[in-house]
Structure 1
Amino acid sequence: MNRIARIAAGAAALLAAPVPAFASAQAAATTVTTCGWSGLQAGLSTKVCADVTGNSVVLYGQIGLAGPPSPGTPWPPAPQELLTRLTADVAGGNSLGAVNGRTVFQISTVRVDGITATVPCGSTVHASFSVESFYRGPSPVTVDVPVVC
């Protein structure tokens, strides 16, 4: 068998080989991100999101600017110290936890991490995120996420 024939036979054998098991496992572990509606809190835009991979759920809040500054507003805005609260539970079931914290927001979107949990397949996770400042109270945003395994 000449050299070109051996190379062609080797290539054909590789193409006919079965797909390794780890490749199909990676395809099954797809992460789906779901975010709730944005809300206005403390003059900012906030939302709560969930990353679901199988039956693992990662919940976090996001804080961003509510819109462009009004004419005459000093730029960049002064940093704001915010109180944050992220809570989650399985609908009709147990609490997944609550995280209270402080964060400083100025211009760039801030991600507030907090809750990671493993939940039963077929359940729905309900999460709530709120921010407040010294002069404005909270107005929570929510998301309900089905956990489909």
Structure 2
Amino acid sequence: MRMNRLALTAAGIAGAAALLAVPAQANAAQTTTTGTTVTCGASGLQAGKSTQLCAEVTGDSVRLFGRISLAGPPTPGSEPQTVDLLTSISGQVVGGASLGTASGQTRFTASTVEVPGVSGTVPCGSTVHGSFSVATFPWSPVPVTVDVVVPC
């Protein structure tokens, strides 16, 4: 049986409340491989999807990228709907230069999608702040962020 739109919205709101109840530190994920560290910020709900912004740091290079995935399990027996999402990723060295903004359109069906962002060389000891927004009619963006310190 298909969930009606109201039930789907209520489920999304309940999921968002659960995400907000968990401290942001518990949502952050770090992975280290051969001098590369990936730090992801807390997940958020945007355009009815789960979104997250990650920062990959290798030496003094920083790369920001987004992830879009389903906000919950698909409705049993339903076909996944393809949706075109407007995305934007921006990065800034706190108190310094901009890493720029990457905006575009991302096609999402049901599997997790990685959205390319911006990158740059950053002085060690600097903090990089990134923001990732996703929108589609009728939903406005509610950006997710990540902050990462470039080690010396």
**Shorter-chain TM band:** 0.7 to 0.9
Greater Cα radius of gyration, structure 1 or 2:
1
Give the 5 Å matches for 1:96-115.
96-115=99-118
Q: Which amino acid aligns with 1:53?
A: T
Show the counterpart of 2:88.
85
Aligned length: 120
Deviation at 1:70, TM superposition (A): 4.6
Measured against aligned partners, the alpha-carbon deviations of 1:46-102 in whole angstroms (never above 9, x if no partner) come to: 00001101100111000000011356xx62321000000000000111111001100
Instruction: Judge conservation of contact 1:58–1:116 (CA < 8 Å) in 2.
Output: yes
Give the 5 Å matches for 1:126-145.
126-145=129-148
Please, which runs of 5 or more residues in structure 1 have no aligned partner?
1-28
Deviation at 1:126, TM superposition (A): 0.2
Show the counterpart of 2:124.
121
CA distance, structure 1, for counterparts of residue 130 and residue 78 of structure 2:
34
Please, which runs of 5 or more residues in structure 2 have no aligned partner?
1-33
Corresponding position: 1:59 with 2:64: yes
Q: Which amino acid aligns with 1:41?
A: Q
Identity %: 58
| Superposition TM-score, scaled by structure 1 size | 0.77
Q: Which amino acid aligns with 1:119?
A: V
Q: Which amino acid aligns with 2:61?
A: S
Deviation at 1:140, TM superposition (A): 0.1
Q: Which amino acid aligns with 1:33?
A: V
CA distance, structure 1, for counterparts of residue 80 and residue 47 of structure 2:
14
| Superposition TM-score, scaled by structure 2 size | 0.75
Give the 5 Å matches for 1:45-56.
45-56=50-61
Show the counterpart of 2:36.
31
Q: Which amino acid aligns with 2:148?
A: V
CA distance, structure 1, for counterparts of residue 150 and residue 105 of structure 2:
29
CA distance, structure 2, for counterparts of residue 99 and residue 56 of structure 1:
17
Instruction: Judge conservation of contact 1:39–1:46 (CA < 8 Å) in 2.
Output: yes
